[in-house]
Structure 1
Amino acid sequence: MTSVATLAPAVPRSRRGPGWTLAVVLAGQFMAILDVSIVNVAAPTIRAALGASGSGLQLIISGYTIAYAMLLITGARLGGLSGPRRMFLLGLALFTAASLTCGLAGSEGALIGFRLAQGAGAAFMVPQVLSIIQLNFAGAARARALSAYSAVLAGGIVAGQVLGGLLVTADLFGTQWRPVFLVNVPIGLALLAAGARMLPSDHVPRDQGLDLPGLLCFSAAVSLLVIPLVLGHEQHWPLWGWCSMAAGVALLGVFAVAERRARHPLVPGRLLRAPGLLPGVLGVFFAMVTWGGFLFTVALHLQGGIGDGPLRAGLTFVPGAAGFAVVSLTWRRLPARLHRGLILAGFALAALGYAGLSPVFGGGGRGEPLLEILLAVTGAGLGLAYSPLFTVALAGVEPRDAPDASGLMSTTLQLGQVMGVATFGSVYLSLSPSSRAIGVTGFGLAACAVVGAACVLPLLRRPRLS
């Protein structure tokens, strides 16, 4: 069997070496992931300081995710048109500027608007990370880069919860919630300076074009799906939300039909025919559904059902993030013949971890030290599935399709997390405060992991990607 680390070569073109290239783009990715969760911890303080309404607070927290998910494909295609280096720096500049204005905002409305701008900056920046990795790393170096990318995804959300708790608790210079945004500014400025010197030059293919109708159709479809998923539970799943999601699904169908006739489709047919891509995309989607739902519901249980503070709850997840990250960085040390089998084994281990929520929390307490062991095992299992899966899914993609593949994978990641939070968060909250809530949710997560494993079975039957 061919190792997934030896396929789809690319030519490194970094100005200061591939290590610096990877460090810059992954630091940008980490900031974008961090801001998904860092604001959650500061929400009560923001509400008190700005007098925000319930719906306004929801949009402050979720506006970032909405704009981020809606514009990822747009950011990927713009990267293909103008070059991933240029678009990464532009997105990073917008993200940094929006972080500054968020930290200085004096009203609810202003903060909502700046959060949307922050999400847009992340959407323009994040797809370029995978594009730059695809175009500038080859063979084993690419597999290592994707493993580091996976580790950053694992740690970003947990780090956001911990850092948010630390910053709000510290109340630096009496600034209360503002440092959760302002912390991005010096880091963003440093990355802009480093990126301008160290990121590889852009070489944009001349045959690129922009399918504007398809872009608008897809963006509208994603927004119609994401907005009710993000806001639905707090609004008690109103009729407009269901109508919006139905319209989003319909628009996705229109988009799929229209793409077949487009001169410059957002998702070229040859990309969808890349060996292993579609099973890989489905596997990544279900992996992110379970990971997002797991982190969210366990956090709800720790803070609501048990009474932990946000900082303690965030620190509780460190073993899970560590397990995910360590496995992501070390799985390549196993024999190449086992790499694809790791995907199925990882899903199975994660499913066991999810199902273990019921006995661990069954006594009504925190279940220590079994809880930390369970989190580490679950994180390790998901890392074992996710990192080889991501490598296999992208290994057969041609360099000219890297921007579109990056947009597709980034959108899949974000939609998976949103779906996981919305679906399993609703399951947990609908059963809470019953003691069965976390157990039922855990078994639902385990079933979802089994579905993810079923989706990747075609990868196990394919001995080669070419």
Structure 2
Amino acid sequence: MSDHAATPRFWAPISVLLCGAFVVALDNFIVNVAIPHLKTDFGASYASVQLIVVAYGLAFGMTLITGGRLGDLYGRKRTFLLGLGGFTLASLVCGLAPSPAILIVARLLQGATGAVLHPQIVAMLRVQIAPARRRFAFALYGSALGLGAIAGQLLGGALVDWDLWGLGWRLVFLVNLPVGLVALPLAGLLLEETPRLGRVRFDLVGTLLAAATLGAVLTPLIVGREAGWPLWTWALLAASVPLGIGFVRWEQELTWLGRAPLVDFRLLKAPAFVPGLILAATFYTTLNSFYMALTMLQQLGLGATAFATGMVFLPLGICFLVGTLAAIRVGGRRTLDLGLGLTLVGYALLASLGSVAGADWHPDALVPGLAILGLGQGLFLTPLLNVVLTRVPAVDAGSAAGILATAQQAGGALGIAIIGLLFFGALDGGADGFRHGFELAARYAFGASILCFVLLRRLGASQRRAAPLGETELA
């Protein structure tokens, strides 16, 4: 479907799409606050609990590009329904899991089906929303992702502590069921199917090579620190290089033959796409990892309950919503600059808590920094996706969305590895060690945000070279 054929309808389709985006982001974070309860209920080892947490992100990152291409080939509405139905079913299995092993497998299924669902959301926003309202639609999408991340901490903590019907931690997975059961029939009624690429063979070899490459990179990054970086983690990282080269060569060969590759590397020639990928990946190194450090500080370092831990995120969540609403109304380059600037200020305040409030600072000292951080992230993340994808051809929107989301997930995994080394390396068995580890995590995030400023300048330069005066998204 071309841009000019985009449907004028807005709220009906976008409401369903945003529900999908929200639950995918929610489940990437909601399990964090349930870690102590999972461990106690199952009598599981710490390593098993960590696998429960990271299995979702690992499967999600490995399957995203494939999910995007499935939508291009077989129709995005059909693929959206398949992903949402599978995600809802996997959530039910997670909530009923009788053992850590089954829960880990169910989390892998959750991540894989979420990766089938997620790229269709971005692609349908790109091709089904009228151009005049597309920036607004992407702003709503960015806010749904951010609010899903924040709500994961707040809602997860509340559900675990309330222990409704004696289900405890199981509710953090079962909460997806009503969303899925309502959204599935609505999606069937309200979404329009997109044109398919025609009779083409699915790139099975490319899919396997992509999954192997991403798995070889993400598995050591996510699991390596907890496992003590054994030899197999380094062997996997080394193997990712020839696997990646093989994947690129195979995809290029399919392109030359006129067949449909999993990833058309001509997408990398789209104006601002590559700088946008790097910017998004760099910014995402600071999100999941920093929230993880904050959660660990509260529960394991300061002995807070799951609900109290979730409430710490409240000022961040409220200010994120304010920033999102402001970005929707204003948008443009100044919004991105202001958002990154406030993000830097927030991280700077959190990184200097020991110097300003003393080594034994109270959790209340987090509030100003978290509030400013939430405002900055809301202003920045809301317009970012539209800027990165704006000049990608509509027919390749699914693949581009999968590549972008994969870059974000890989960035998140890298951030967890980096901040995990800093945070856990600072622990000394007491609360002071947790505080120091948290400050180190904030210092890394501050440095990464400075790099994002440089990348944002590069992105703006790429947009200006590609567009006539007045047409650039960063104007």
- Normalising by structure 2, report the TM-score: 0.89
Match of 2:347 among 332, 354, 364: 354
Structure 1, 69-78 or 409-418: larger mean CA deviation: 409-418
Distance 1:107 1:294, change over 3 A: closer
CA distance in 2, matches of 1:30, 1:459: 27
Structure 1, 275-284 or 377-386: larger mean CA deviation: 377-386
Match of 1:53 among 45, 50, 70: 45
The alpha carbon displacement at 1:219 in A equals 0.9
Match for 1:226: what amino acid?
L
Q: Deviations over 1:356-385 (max 9, x none)?
A: 213334423555655222112122223333
- 1:92 counterpart residue number: 84
- Kindly report which structure 2 residues correspond to 1:20-419, keeping only aligned pairs within 5 A, or say none: 20-206=12-198, 209-263=201-255, 264-334=260-330, 339-362=332-355, 363-366=358-361, 370-419=365-414
Structure 1, 191-200 or 175-184: larger mean CA deviation: 175-184
Match for 1:139: what amino acid?
P
Distance 1:249 1:296, change over 3 A: farther
Partners of 1:10 and 1:399 within 8 A in 2:
no
Match for 2:352: what amino acid?
P
CA distance in 2, matches of 1:464, 1:140: 23
The alpha carbon displacement at 1:150 in A equals 0.9
CA distance in 1, matches of 2:363, 2:293: 18
Distance 1:366 1:440, change over 3 A: same
- Residue identity over aligned pairs, in percent, reads 35
- 1:437 counterpart residue number: 437
Structure 1, 216-225 or 425-434: larger mean CA deviation: 425-434
Distance 1:325 1:257, change over 3 A: farther
Q: Deviations over 1:328-362 (max 9, x none)?
A: 3322533x7xx224334432332232122133344
- 1:11 counterpart residue number: 5
Match for 2:267: what amino acid?
L
Distance 1:104 1:293, change over 3 A: closer
Partners of 1:103 and 1:182 within 8 A in 2:
yes
Match for 2:348: what amino acid?
A
CA distance in 1, matches of 2:28, 2:396: 28
The alpha carbon displacement at 1:146 in A equals 0.8
Match for 2:459: what amino acid?
L
CA distance in 2, matches of 1:183, 1:332: 28
Q: Deviations over 1:180-223 (max 9, x none)?
A: 22221122111111111111123213275532222211111111
CA distance in 2, matches of 1:199, 1:427: 45
Match for 2:243: what amino acid?
L
CA distance in 2, matches of 1:10, 1:281: 26
The alpha carbon displacement at 1:88 in A equals 0.7
Structure 1, 439-448 or 302-311: larger mean CA deviation: 302-311
Partners of 2:161 and 2:306 within 8 A in 1:
no
Match for 2:39: what amino acid?
R
Q: Deviations over 1:125-168 (max 9, x none)?
A: 11111011011113341111111111111111221122122112
Q: Deviations over 1:304-344 (max 9, x none)?
A: 3333222222221222233333323322533x7xx224334
Partners of 1:355 and 1:439 within 8 A in 2:
no
CA distance in 2, matches of 1:413, 1:329: 23
- Runs of 5+ consecutive residues of structure 1 not aligned to the other structure: 1-7
Number of residue pairs matched? 454
RMSD (Å) for aligned C-alpha atoms: 2.2
Distance 1:93 1:332, change over 3 A: closer
Q: Deviations over 1:365-423 (max 9, x none)?
A: 55565522211212222333333332211111111111111111111222222221221
Distance 1:221 1:278, change over 3 A: same
- 2:470 counterpart residue number: none
CA distance in 1, matches of 2:200, 2:310: 44
List 4+ stretches of structure 1 deviating above 6 A: none
Match for 1:444: what amino acid?
Y
CA distance in 1, matches of 2:322, 2:189: 30
Q: What is the SS of the residue equivalent to 1:396?
A: coil
- 1:4 counterpart residue number: none
Partners of 1:69 and 1:411 within 8 A in 2:
yes
- Runs of 5+ consecutive residues of structure 2 not aligned to the other structure: 468-475
- Normalising by structure 1, report the TM-score: 0.91
